[in-house]
Chain A
């Protein structure tokens, strides 16, 4: 049922800016997310490079030591914005809102998500939230609290904390509504013949993520609302001077933000399952275990928030429980890695760009996971907490995991999304830059952290350890520049492919899930005829790609 001969598709079937801004097509909404979310990534990346340049040497390099009349920028604002933009505006919506929106309905063999208008509304809510944040940054006094907004610093800071948190509050609704939409879509819209275990694992991962988005994000909303009330009306719930609790905010915040870590990584794992299975051309090993691990991780993710607070003075017994559950969550994660590895066994593996990113994930995410073991062990966390070791760890998970998987997924579905092939040669060059740059930037930070370098330091002059720190900081900064070049290369060849790329076939990778059964790019309603699910998404032992 290939529609390759038809020349109309979802991109060109109607024209004009309004046909995009008022669209209810999940594919177009996915593309609109792609534009704004990737712009946010560029902005966050800009701050990242600024941070790395500042830390290239001790003493202040590019930022003033304190804000002055003319220049209100400080290093503290830069690292806050890097974190806040990357977390709230980029990573959380990245895979679900871009790839999820585009692929999930097609993979389920349906025309659209369950509530197409709500889907468009989510995009507008995202835009409003983003606009409020931008306003706080450029017309307010920006923010210098760190993306974690810890009280009582955040309630005493003179920066635009209220406005910024209000922006994040609004963004949260976009996340909640998208999650609800996906959950209903998965439950109600699967093509005839598709049971729960015929769904691609990408769908399972996005589904587990959506559950967390629905359950956890409201807690963030409540927390930020309390914070806004604390700053505006001084209700005193977090302020010890008014009988409040100085660490209560941290409990609230991590009650959302630890599950949010899984909002960020589960979609990455979801993409991984597709990349590995399709490009190894081999049925996935341990399908059910991978699917169940996603749900197990989603559930356990709610019970570990206190592992961010082992040195906050919380009770030792509570720390014991949090550490224990943290180790439990390591088990399904380890299982997934072994399953992906075994999936490659006896496969027919294409070394193309998406697969390279999948291989990279196996390396970098493994490092991210293993270093989490250090931090989860109570006594070991004491010296490592709030040092660069933590910074390196979560970048290996968030970037070495989610962003790498996102890049893999972007290349994997690029032909489907735009109907154009990118340059495989430049894809590999870009990959080499990303791989080298990433590891240089962040591996050195493990050593920095172990040696004692605290995070969120604008300067490290005048320490006993200054010289030691400087070496690793320089290494890291050079790495970050290589990484930046990698991203620019990717941007160039991807944009170039839109203009001059070869036309993509319907199924360039020989995949078996439903999105490969329709043309590239797909028609406005995804399929010309209503599809029926006749085989599992990874039945590479039974079905040939030409037969789907």
Chain B
């Protein structure tokens, strides 16, 4: 169930919201008290000492000081201010102390859109609305591509500017499944007021389903850059492992004396084995350095690797793929 707001404050949908609201209520009650003191005092005197119609001016009280009174009304506000200051500081620190287990979502702001990027072991996904799991600390790592923007989720009581050329972070833990407004609160030009989106707080299962849906398998270049480049070259030079140049169609000789020509389905299966189970067969002249990638590369991505290796030497026929990195 989505939480309800009150007349004064919006719904509390994050762990920090009740902390901030407690401070709000403290200042609120104090303010009401002092407002009544000043307004009532002023009105009372204004009525009590009102000059009567037609009355002429007379000499009035010469009371210019009252040290006790003056000390009281300097010291009491000072003490209260210091309490509020310290409390504000405490909450501020809480709002800034990012838990170690927070999941990172990368945020890119630009005129006039938000882009949220989710990276998992299976790849990277993007969305324009923000999707997060409930009861899980989330860290937003933000930057802007152009002017300054600011990410604000009222029901979470969080806000942070997204700056060009500098990273800022923000964290929160949503406490209730539901949909919440997300606004840009730093004026950023024409469509500033349309730079708003929805935050979808999902249950753990729904979030997993969302990720499975949105996360795209990576293309060969991306995988190569991220996981293979340190050992396999593309230009023919020998590294820790054999070069990928000319791999498709080549015949590999193994330490157990057998050999295999990397073509067709056999070739594809061999590449899959090399990635998942590299020490099944070891290429002659190389160490056992290659680790298994069972947990970091999906079956779909294997297909991309095979395609990538196949077309490596025929740039003209390369399958369309985004440049990684």
Q: Which residues of B contact A316 (CB under 8 A)?
A: 92-93, 96
Contact of A377 among B49, B85, B164 (CB under 8 A): B85
In the assembled complex, the CB of A24 is this many whole angstroms from the nearest CB of chain B, namely 36
Q: Which residues of A contact B55 (CB under 8 A)?
A: 348
Contact of A338 among B73, B78, B150 (CB under 8 A): B73
Given contacts A76-B189, A156-B146, A327-B85, contact A359 B46 (CB under 8 A): yes
Q: Are B91 and A331 in contact (CB under 8 A)?
A: no
Contact with B along A157-188 (1 / 0, CB 8 A): 10000000000000000000000000000000
Contact of A450 among B8, B69, B185, B198 (CB under 8 A): B8
Contact of B185 among A247, A347, A386 (CB under 8 A): A386
Q: Are A386 and B181 in contact (CB under 8 A)?
A: no
Q: Which residues of A contact B41 (CB under 8 A)?
A: 341
- Asked if B134 CB lies within 8 Å of chain A CBs, one says no
**Which of B58-66, B260-268, B286-294, B307-315 is near enough to bind chain A?**
B58-66
Which residue of B is nearest A340, CB measured?
Answer: B42
Q: Which residues of B contact A337 (CB under 8 A)?
A: 38
- Asked if A35 CB lies within 8 Å of chain B CBs, one says no
Q: Are B34 and A380 in contact (CB under 8 A)?
A: no
Count, chain A residues at interface, CB 8 A: 94
Q: Are B85 and A454 in contact (CB under 8 A)?
A: no
- Asked if A261 CB lies within 8 Å of chain B CBs, one says no
Given contacts A313-B160, A341-B38, contact A374 B27 (CB under 8 A): yes
- Asked if A150 CB lies within 8 Å of chain B CBs, one says yes
- Asked if B228 CB lies within 8 Å of chain A CBs, one says no
Q: Are B163 and A313 in contact (CB under 8 A)?
A: yes
Contact of A373 among B81, B92, B94 (CB under 8 A): B81
- Asked if A312 CB lies within 8 Å of chain B CBs, one says yes
Given contacts A344-B49, A454-B185, contact A285 B63 (CB under 8 A): yes
The answer for the CA separation of A275 and B96 in the assembled complex, in Å, is: 46
The answer for the CA separation of A175 and B8 in the assembled complex, in Å, is: 41
Q: Are A312 and B45 in contact (CB under 8 A)?
A: no
Q: Are B90 and A341 in contact (CB under 8 A)?
A: no
Q: Are B192 and A458 in contact (CB under 8 A)?
A: yes
Given contacts A286-B65, A380-B23, A380-B27, contact A344 B45 (CB under 8 A): yes
In the assembled complex, the CB of A277 is this many whole angstroms from the nearest CB of chain B, namely 10
Contact of B70 among A281, A286, A378, A450 (CB under 8 A): A286
Q: Are B85 and A386 in contact (CB under 8 A)?
A: no
Q: Are A373 and B59 in contact (CB under 8 A)?
A: no
Contact of B188 among A153, A540, A542 (CB under 8 A): A153
**Which residues, 307 to 350 on A, are CB-close (under 8 Å) to B?**
310-313, 316, 319-320, 323-324, 327-328, 330-331, 334-335, 337-338, 340-342, 344-350
- Asked if B301 CB lies within 8 Å of chain A CBs, one says no
Count, chain B residues at interface, CB 8 A: 88
**Which residues, 365 to 386 on A, are CB-close (under 8 Å) to B?**
366-367, 370-371, 373-374, 376-383, 385-386
- Asked if B147 CB lies within 8 Å of chain A CBs, one says yes
Q: Are B91 and A380 in contact (CB under 8 A)?
A: yes
In the assembled complex, the CB of B301 is this many whole angstroms from the nearest CB of chain A, namely 35
- Asked if A283 CB lies within 8 Å of chain B CBs, one says yes
Contact with B along A14-32 (1 / 0, CB 8 A): 0000000000000000000
In the assembled complex, the CB of A341 is this many whole angstroms from the nearest CB of chain B, namely 5
- Asked if B157 CB lies within 8 Å of chain A CBs, one says yes
Contact of B49 among A156, A324, A345, A462 (CB under 8 A): A345
- Asked if A152 CB lies within 8 Å of chain B CBs, one says yes
Q: Are A383 and B20 in contact (CB under 8 A)?
A: yes
Given contacts A287-B64, A349-B49, contact A246 B89 (CB under 8 A): no
Q: Which residues of A contact B73 (CB under 8 A)?
A: 334-335, 338
Q: Are B60 and A464 in contact (CB under 8 A)?
A: no
Q: Which residues of B contact A76 (CB under 8 A)?
A: 187, 189-190, 192
- Asked if A116 CB lies within 8 Å of chain B CBs, one says no
Contact of A327 among B34, B82, B157 (CB under 8 A): B82
Q: Which residues of A contact B64 (CB under 8 A)?
A: 283-287
Contact with B along A521-548 (1 / 0, CB 8 A): 0000000000000000000111011000
Contact with B along A114-130 (1 / 0, CB 8 A): 00000000000000000
Which residue of A is nearest B169, CB measured?
Answer: A313
Contact with B along A269-307 (1 / 0, CB 8 A): 000000000001111111101000000000000000000
- Asked if B31 CB lies within 8 Å of chain A CBs, one says yes
Q: Which residues of B contact A371 (CB under 8 A)?
A: 31
What residues make up the interface of A, taking CB atoms closer than 8 Å to B?
Answer: 66, 74, 76, 144-146, 150, 152-153, 156-157, 240-241, 246-247, 280-287, 289, 310-313, 316, 319-320, 323-324, 327-328, 330-331, 334-335, 337-338, 340-342, 344-351, 355, 359, 362-363, 366-367, 370-371, 373-374, 376-383, 385-387, 447, 450-452, 454-460, 462-465, 510, 540-542, 544-545
Q: Nearest 8 pairs between A and B by C-beta?
A: A240-B165, A379-B91, A452-B154, A377-B88, A541-B62, A378-B92, A457-B193, A346-B61
